[in-house]
Structure 1
Amino acid sequence: MSLRAGDPAEIGGYPLEARLGSGGMGTVFLARTSSGRPVAIKLIHQQFAADDEFRIRFRQEVAAARRVSGAFTAAVVDAAPEAEQPWMATTYIQGHTLARRIAMKGPLSGAELRRLAIGLAEALRDIHRVGVVHRDLKPSNVVLSPEGPRVIDFGISRAVDQQTLTITGRVIGTPPFMSPEQLQAPRDVGPRSDVFSLGTLLAYAATGHGPFDADSPYIAAYQVVHEEPSLEDVPAALRMVAESCLAKEANARPSADELLVLLRDLPTDLDQIDARGAGAGRTRDMVTEHHFATPATPTPAPPTPATPTPAAPTPAASATTPAGPDTGSADTSIGRRSRPRWRPVFAAAVAVTVAAIGGGVAALTAGGFGGNSGGDKGNSLAVPGAALPDGFEPWHKAVLGGRPDVPDELRCVARDEALFCGGGSVVATRIRAKDGSRVWTAKSPGVPVNGVHLVGATDDTVLGYRFAAQDAPQDPRSEVVAIDANNGRELWSVPSGTQSTAVTGRTQDAVVVGSDVVTVDASNSRFEARNAHSGHVTWTSPFPAGTQCAPVPVGPQLVAMCAKDAEVNAFSVRHPTLYPVDRASGTLGRPVEVNGPAVPIGVANGRLVLLQVHMEGTDPAGYNGVVRVDPASRKVTYSRPAQTYAGTPGMADGTVYVSGQTGLVTALDPATGRKKWSRQTGVEGASGPVAGAGALYFSSATGRVVALSPDDGKILWTTDPQVDGLTGQQGASPRVTLAGRAVIVAAAKNTLFAFDAQKPPKSG
């Protein structure tokens, strides 16, 4: 939509290109940053600028949007809530809103509908984890991007620990998609109000109409509070989930974490259901299983001897902890719902997350990308006969982060008997591998980018990421920080770009190669190589014209993976190009084109190995090809596995591994693409592998670890979960680090624990 007469030419220094739309409170424009990246700027209408109450709400919107910036929302780029005419700039998300999509093409169905449902639940999970309630989840606030659904417009959202902004006689929201408590008692609105709204969206997406649609908003509001939803046309399997979301009482609804588990159990194609609404041929998780209670008075079923006994309910999270399951109610837990429409067999079960392909990736280690490594040495790998650190005893510690509202998770790298970890709101910390005691910690004040962890480490320097605080807009949004490994003193810092996920599918904006660190500059226009300890710039290398690039280490060497600006901006890189990088000068060699989309995962026999991503429309749906690239000879070979494998990819000792959401681990030959073996484990959505001591280690965010034999995938041992965390995650970088024979595991909430590989904790 072209700019109109009277529209400004620029806002806050951002030149405007077009109108994206206009609503009751403001107009949204398409603009460009100085580097040319598109942003959406919301400019508040002039008549509201003098309204103090509105300014308060707009400041809340900016604060909430900053807190939840992540994989499922639009990240805040800039804002001026105190300007004469307030405005906020966010990343531009390409795609139609759900409302527009339904109007153009009609209701969604099958796998597309299931992906939308899971994506929206993931978005709510991330929003609620940082303590925010959206309060206006509706079709026009969901954008269907090529990466999946994004939730936008936090105009009436609030932090859980804030007072609700209320106006006598005025209901803020959209009645057909509001919860009963929003209409009756706005101050009591919590996370499960958003779950109710999500239930209305599921029905709307499946049928083209809401479950409480009416000619009048007043009638719609009455139906929300008093009437049962209209769900007759919703596919039976999804209908049962929607019913649980649309319970009138907030306590009877699942949390976003629990909802993800329910959605994960739905059949891949929601249209393929039997007469009872159960999916045919779906894979059940070995650890967690969910059942729906029948809505009518059921006939008692005969007892089943093999049915497990539900675990005791986990105590509700404290009011100051925004993350974790069941934060929607302060005084109830899974075991104390007044009107349960569903129940978990194991109350400790938590969420399934289909994260963007990625995770903090620092260097190639043991043939694979490791999110906890750096330099040519890679991880300190345990080998048969390796010793434990002197004085080692099993330990379990938590590292205090910089922000209590950030759901942190660390990644670590071992150097001799020192352990260096970072991620979330921790730039880096040094820990003694023998007992978990901390030597020093450097904290990050701001909200981190999802999946960004430690950059890496050399013999004398640790490198991590620091994110600016919300009240320090003058600081770089993200920086690479170098810290003296011995005393924790900051040596230098440099602003860092953040575009690599769009290029490589992995968060890899800085890598350690030898004694240098290679970063992407803040304008996303060139590589910069520095001595890791001194910060002295050894070379800079501009990206090829019209492209954006990310550094990819290949053992001691380096390649640049680049994509055209248009593909990066559209988050649809289908034609990546690789350039060998001269380590001494930064000069780019001759280009090597790769059939994409493809994700680099490791090195085998000196060749870079990538997995080709299978796309279903605009959605990634697993991996269906193996690519090997020899940077020296520019030779590219392709192999096609017998099937598509979905999950988290990794590489160790020359073998490709894919770890699925439900614990299935598959080993593939990178030369032929053939399956070597597959093994069903009890570790859902594990990241890995890490190889050492004759075993492969995979671990989930709960701290549950499984050790497999590299030869045939035989399960050597499995540990129990250590903390409450998300399971079924995809794309996370490895959480296990080996210091000699010691297995060190990073889990949710900045938890670290360690044990002897030969004496793992007993399961059960």
Structure 2
Amino acid sequence: MTNRREEAGGTRPGTPLPSATLPGQTLPGQTLPGQSLPGTIGPYRPVRELGAGGMGRVYLAASHSGRAVAVKVVRGEFAADPDFRWRFAAEVDAARRVGSAFTAPVVDADPTGTPPWLATAYIPGPSLGEAVRTHGPMPEQSLRLLAAGLVEALAAIHRAGLIHRDLKPSNVLLAKDGPRVIDFGISRAVDRPSFTVEGHLVGSPGYMSPEHTTGEELTPASDVFALGAVLAYAATGRPPFGTGPVHALLYRTAHEDPDLAGVPDALSGILAACLHRDPAARPPLPQLQTRLRPQAAADWPAPVAEQVARYEREATRYLRRPRPSRRSVLLASGGAALAAGAGAGWWLWRRPAGGPAAAAPEAAWTADVPDARAEVSRLDAGTVVCTGPSSASVYDRNSGRQLWHDADGTQYTTGPGRVYTVRTDGLLHALDGSTGKQLWASPPEGTGSSKIVSADADQVVLCSANGAVRGFDPTRGTVRWSSTVSGRLGGVQPLDSGRMLVSGSDKSTNFTFLHAVSVLDPAGQRLWNRNLYIPHAAGDRVYAFDQDRSLLALRAADGERIWSRDTPLSTTYQSSDLSQQVLGLLGGRLYCYPELDLRGMSAGPLIAFDPADGSTLWSTRPPTGLLNSVAVADGVLCYLADGLHGIDARTGHLRWHAGADLGGLSFLGTAGGMFLVGSVSAAAAGLYGFDPASGRQVWHYPVTGATDYWTGAQDSRGLYVLTSSRLLAFRLPG
């Protein structure tokens, strides 16, 4: 006899699931490669894009006093829609009416702004879904701590006359002092008609109540059902109605009993009552407060508590300093840039084959940098260039003497022998890298604010707010070519023969994190375009994933497919968010790896591919799922995730784990034949070098007062690192 659930499709409740397939992810939490952030949103300064949803984008931002807030901004194409504006205003009004220690409070809003926005207190911590996927089910006392906070949050929501309607693991964040319920985007007032239109789902299948799925009128008891499903998930690591197609989940919810195997005996009865198909039979919140309260001192499991602490540290780092642009560093040609330690992007280094054994860099000089938010952004023949969001400082490479400083721009980018800035006059200015003297100024020829996307020896690419993209001659400042992108420009990557890959987002890709990819010829004419995930330009090829998660190699000249391969991302890791992955070539292999995310979404695999045919060489899941950048030396691939991990680049097997006791680490790639990290730990601040073969610490340079993450750059002449407004120069051996 065929099992009814198998017939419907999906996974049966009670069947153990790979952690990557569980639902309940938070909003995608990554700024796309090279993607610009808004300058300000009301009085707030965005420092990181946290994600996107049906209503708009969400940013981590800082107030003037440095307070962290999460700012939701309505999508531009919807802001002019009166009905959509009304719904956003209703969300603001609803959120302001809810007051609880276990919800994210509204701190500011402008529903009539252009665009409208809403700011809530930022909650640094993983979602419940991420915590359970990473660390497994929670013990009973932690479940009771979770339940007590959720019940109190729902009580506050219901007292305000609202129903949440979409309580699920991704809408529960775990802070150090308890859970927080977020996202009232689909809440509706109880005193208004509250029906679900047939064929249109407002909620999350598997957590929606039976009456919700069948279109009946909703009451607060619907949230009680969702509460039971969320707690069952936290207790077992799997949804109580399994996984699978939407229709299968809706059927099971409406007609079958939940699977509560694995729920602690003391809680199984009350959770079963919450999940009763009859709303009238579900327990009221006051009864749940009594039945679910902790019976002893309770806290999050130790691994979850450490995860929360890590997100707090990362949030602090982002608020101290804006996140550097991945592409602006990747396109630099005057020195190998080193990775910033807070997940700053895909920067790669490789020790030359047969190079010298690890040896200590020799300290040369130190200098003070005026801008605490500056990064080491470029090395030229005689200069070290440090740029921040609103300043540039240039130093003599031999002596460390400051040659010049400029703080009149709104953005700074470097190219060979040049520093480029957009000033408040709206013009693109080119400054001589050695003297700071202005060489030329040119209008962006677009409307609205402009962003420098890339700069190299051949061109400077500028994008205006209206989608106009232009390439400027770096010598004369004249416009060489012009084009347009639909939506926001994601980045520009160089290809062979003067071609370039331009990626952006439009209405069809804006909230799926697909890139609308175009390849342009040297005159800016579009050769071909296609929607792709995480495109990577490499000479005469473009590597990317398609919408089926197959890995592709495309000819840069015409977009024709060279090969296509299924990968572990299309089979084993289907639920991994491709927007959280980074793709790049290093040491003759094509690597795909998860990038750090403040909301803990970066739990994808690390995979090595053969770029010749796309075959998978090996695949592994990092132990914490939080990578910052990777480097290769002596056949060992190294990444930072709770210390350094050395992976055999040929097999993918772990060879060593080191540096976990140092704390506050930034990964700086390779230098002098070592893997290099910087620490801002009070007890261990300084630079550390590790031997690639063994993981043994072989060098330490203490730095007193280092409190901010490290950035740097190196070439054959030296290593230059920056932390806490101090620039340190080292001569490299050999």
TM (normalized to structure 2)?
Answer: 0.48
With a CA cutoff of 8 Å and minimum separation of 6, indicate the structure with the bigger relative contact order.
Answer: 2
